[in-house]
């Protein structure tokens, strides 16, 4: 059942899945004037449908359209007071699984060594002087053509050329 169709109903247990930036809130809502607030209202509806148990889930990574992507946890999950949450698996602060490198690990080391991207990987937290902190969610190219897609906490998704971006590990 969708959140939209759950209005006015209550259930003993409710599962809200896909709490990732881009899914909930959906990317399309971010382009509309009141889109994020409407998505926040939908989240409230979802949370208030549970009588006894509420399960909130997100995927740290998923395959989408044939590409493996690392996800950023939904801003809505960050807005819930930590004292109200009980983590059933690893919390975002202590994840131990190391994501794979952003570039092909079978690529010869001599080619990687001259790549400005060699110090960055998908899933890594980074800092940018203008956009602030974010997480690398995608990468492509090598050497002078290397670029990364970063989901910044306050500025959203941005593609940055590593040759010019001056990214720092956060």
- pLDDT, tens only, 102-147: 444 444 433 333 444 457 888 889 999 999 999 998 888 777 778 8
Q: What angle do CA 58, 60, 63 make, to 5 degrees?
A: 100
Look at residues 76, 92, 108 and tell me which one is the last residue of a structural domain. 92
| pTM score | 0.52
Q: Are residues 83 and 126 in the same domain?
A: no
Task: Read off the pLDDT of residues 76-97 as tens digits, 9 standing for 90 and up.
Answer: 988 998 888 887 765 554 443 3
Based on the fold, state whether residues 80 and 5 are members of the same structural domain: yes
pLDDT value at residue 119? 76
Query: How many domains does the chain divide into?
Result: 2
Residues 50 and 78 in one domain: yes
Query: Whole domain around residue 78: which residue ranges?
Result: 1-92
Single out the residue of 72, 96, 76, 95 nearest to residue 84, CA to CA.
Answer: 76
């Amino acid at each position: 059942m969708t959140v939209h169709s759950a209005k006015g109903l209550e259930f003993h247990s409710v599962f809200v899945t896909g709490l990732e930036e881009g899914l909930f809130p959906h990317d399309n809502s971010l382009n509309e004037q009141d889109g994020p607030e409407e998505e926040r209202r939908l989240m409230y509806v979802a949370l208030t449908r549970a009588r006894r148990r509420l399960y909130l889930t997100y995927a740290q990574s998923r395959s989408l359209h044939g590409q493996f992507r690392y996800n950023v946890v939904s801003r809505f999950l960050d807005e819930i007071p930590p004292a109200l949450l009980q983590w059933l698996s690893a919390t975002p602060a202590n994840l131990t699984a190391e994501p794979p490198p952003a570039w092909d690990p079978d690529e010869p080391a001599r080619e990687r060594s001259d790549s400005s991207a060699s110090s960055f990987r998908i899933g890594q937290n980074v800092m940018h002087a203008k956009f602030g902190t974010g997480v690398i969610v995608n990468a492509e190219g090598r050497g002078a053509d290397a670029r990364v897609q970063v989901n910044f906490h306050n500025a959203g998704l941005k593609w940055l050329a590593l040759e010019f971006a001056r990214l720092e590990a956060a």
